[in-house]
Structure 1
Amino acid sequence: MGLVLSPEVKMARRIIKKHSLSVPFDLEELVKQYAKITYISIPVEGVDGICLYLKTPNKTPSVIVNVNSTTRRQKFTLAHELGHIVIPWHLGNFVDDIDENPNQLDNQYWELEREANRFASELLMPFDWIYSLYKKNSDCNYLISQICERCGVSDIAASIRLSTAIFEIESILMPKDWVQELFTENSNLAVLQKIIVEKTKLDPVKVASYMTLNLPGSISFCVEDEGTVIRSGSTHDAHSYHQFDGHEFLKDPYPYYSNYYLYTLNNINTHWWVLHTNFVVPFDNRDWRSILEKISIEISPSQGVKSFKDTVNGKLSGVNGNYRKKNSEPNIEEFMKDVIQRFNNPEFKDFITHKDFLPFIRKRSEDFFKSLISISTQQTASP
């Protein structure tokens, strides 16, 4: 499975193919094949264009462009209005502001505007053309300057388009199936990253980020240069501690992990941790409250024993609630692995490395499990 393209992007690509468009092309002549165009001064702030009579029987669509806007903005507006005309579910009339409003992300109008923007972006800055440039020179500054100059768009529009194009390029260079197949052949993440970097010529940061999007299990990475974090991330199933860009790199962020790998290229280090571990819990006949009390006193948490116990119990209750929502069949071993991951970070290092941590987690999980098993039994017995 490759990258899933939105319907409006696919429509833009069909228009490009249908009319055999290549950069640069006459946008106005293209739009005239679909609508009547009028350029006027629109004395209303924030209105870039108007589109009338969309899908109206016996009516030719009409596009009005605000001449008060810059030439580049008018061009994007014209492509945006063509998007409204071409996208089948855009009906009626539109008064358009091509700048997306971050405060109206759930508004239906703004979703239609975003769709028209994506159509316009693809039409004016076609992916195939950007990819052809990328294969010659992958420098982002070069690509943005070329897109601005040859497509006649603003720096902002070029930057936004390039970011989406780069993601698609990465999905082409690193197909999900290929990455997963390599992983089954070699589970050493440093070796896997090295293979992908050498074959794709992509930088280690992009490769590491893409790997975690497509690999199974609980895996975390951190890229650093001379002790400063460049990027960190994890797979979908990992509830891991993240180190922030620009901060000092922490060498041992995870008390619990099964494997560690290091890949170095040009003095830039990528650290990998496989977080799921197999563990053996020693027998203990104490109840979980007694064990937690003993641990809390011995590690002397800075916030005080009571506050620390409240934090631990609150965190465990949250894990329990999430587990109930996701799992109909309780599995205590998987539940414990999930619990351990939630504490697997520097903040709880003294707690998670205490000799009584595993007995406590086992006892507390069993206590939660009594309720889970009871619910599961009731559901099974229901007619």
Structure 2
Amino acid sequence: MDKKKRDAIENIAEEVRRIVMAGNSDNQNLDVYLRSAGVQVKYTDLSDTQIDGYLEWDIESLQPKIVIDAFEHPHRRVFSIAHELGHLVLHWKWVPTMDEFNKNSLITKQSGVVDVAYRRTDGEYTEQEKARETEANHFAASFLIPEQDIIDYVDDEQRDGKTGSQIILDIGERYFVSQETAGIRYRKAKEFI
């Protein structure tokens, strides 16, 4: 993915966060905020599948629905929710005000159901699917840990004498994300400091 596209996704993610989170910063309750924005979030057992989350259109409620494996680590669940939100926003063109335009753009003409998008655990994707997954991952990381927030945080923590390892641990706790996601955003922030 080129820099222009990465920056665009970063900006979209931060704007969607501003709307969905309504000034709140606790990623742990992302599912609650999404429900308020018109997105259903459901937890179920997906352990016997090759997926750990997917996105579908609920034709009864006329709302998008994110379905996540209930048995994943809580940090993984939050990232998966944000990842599926990325698909919803970037690939289904949904915005957090569910007007008639959004509803009509999501429902296919033949069946009334949108194709299911999902994150596979086996990693077997086409090139187009890989690109979409990369975009959704970048959206999720940007949504959960906004760029300017993390740059300011890392800069402050370094001035206080904290090591990179300690800052990464703190980022994970502060933003309720895995150490892997915290490390990626930490390294990105370091490019700007």
TM-score > 0.5, shorter chain as reference = yes
1:49-68 paired onto structure 2 within 5 Å? 49-53=53-57, 59-68=62-71
Q: Please state whether the residue corresponding to 2:57 is helix, strand or coil.
A: strand
Residues 11-34 of structure 1: per-residue CA shift (max 9 Å, x gap):
111123334435324311222113
Residue in 2 aligned with 1:305? none
Say if 1:34 and 1:61, in contact at 8 Å, map to a contact too.
yes
- Is 1:94 the counterpart of 2:117? The answer is yes
2:116 partner SS: strand
Indicate the percent of aligned positions where both proteins have the same amino acid: 22
Matched, 1:79 2:82: yes
- Counterpart-to-counterpart distance in 2, 1:64 and 1:86: 16
Aligned AA (2:34): V
Name the aligned partner's letter for residue 12 of structure 2: M
8 Å CA contact 1:100, 1:114 repeated in 2: no
Aligned residue for 1:48, secondary structure, equals: strand
**What residue number does 1:17 align with?**
18
Match of 2:174 among 142, 147, 150: 150
* Counterpart mapping for 1:138-287 below 5 A: 138=158, 139-167=163-191, 169-170=192-193
* Aligned AA (2:83): H
1:88 Cα offset (Å):
4.4
- Structure 1 segments unaligned to the other structure (5+ residues): 171-383
Please tell me whether the aligned partners of residues 75 and 178 of structure 2 are also in contact (alpha carbons under 8 angstroms): yes
Question: Which of residues 140, 144, 149 is equivalent to 1:124?
Answer: 144
User: Is 1:115 the equivalent of 2:135?
Assistant: yes
Counterpart position of 1:6:
7
Alpha-carbon distance, 1:130 to partner: 1.1
SS of residue in 1 equivalent to 2:54: strand
Question: Cα deviations across residues 325-372 of structure 1 (Å, max 9, x unaligned)?
Answer: xxxxxxxxxxxxxxxxxxxxxxxxxxxxxxxxxxxxxxxxxxxxxxxx
* C-alpha deviation, 1:132, in angstroms: 2.0
Aligned mates of 2:183, 2:62 — CA distance in 1: 37
- Structure 1 residue 8: Cα displacement: 2.0
Aligned equivalents of 1:82, 1:144: Cα separation in 2: 24
Looking at structure 2, the residues matched to 127 and 31 of structure 1 have their Cα atoms a distance apart, in angstroms, of 21
Q: 1:38 aligns with which of 39, 42, 45?
A: 42
Structure 2: state its 5+ residue gaps.
94-113
Match of 1:87, as an amino acid? Answer: L
Inter-partner Cα distance in structure 2 for 1:129 and 1:22? 13
1:237 is aligned to none
**Aligned CA distance change for structure 1 residues 20 and 38 (closer, same or farther; 3 Å):** closer
| TM-score, scaled to structure 2 | 0.72
Q: How far 1:120 moved relative to its partner?
A: 0.8
Q: Is the 8 A contact 1:23 1:129 kept in 2?
A: no
Question: Which amino acid in the other structure matches residue 119 of structure 2?
Answer: D
One-letter identity of the residue aligned with 1:29: V
CA contact (8 A) 2:14 2:146 kept: yes
Which residue pairs with 1:357 in the alignment?
none
When the two chains are superposed, the root-mean-square deviation of aligned CA atoms in Å is 2.7
- In 2 relative to 1, CA 46–159 (structure 1 residues): closer, same or farther, beyond 3 Å? farther
Query: Is the CA contact (8 Å cut-off) linking 1:31 and 1:78 kept in structure 2?
Result: no
Distance in 1 separating the partners of 2:69 and 2:25: 24
The alignment covers a number of residue pairs equal to 162
- Cα distance per residue 1:26-56 (max 9 Å; x no partner): 31122211311111101434411010129x8
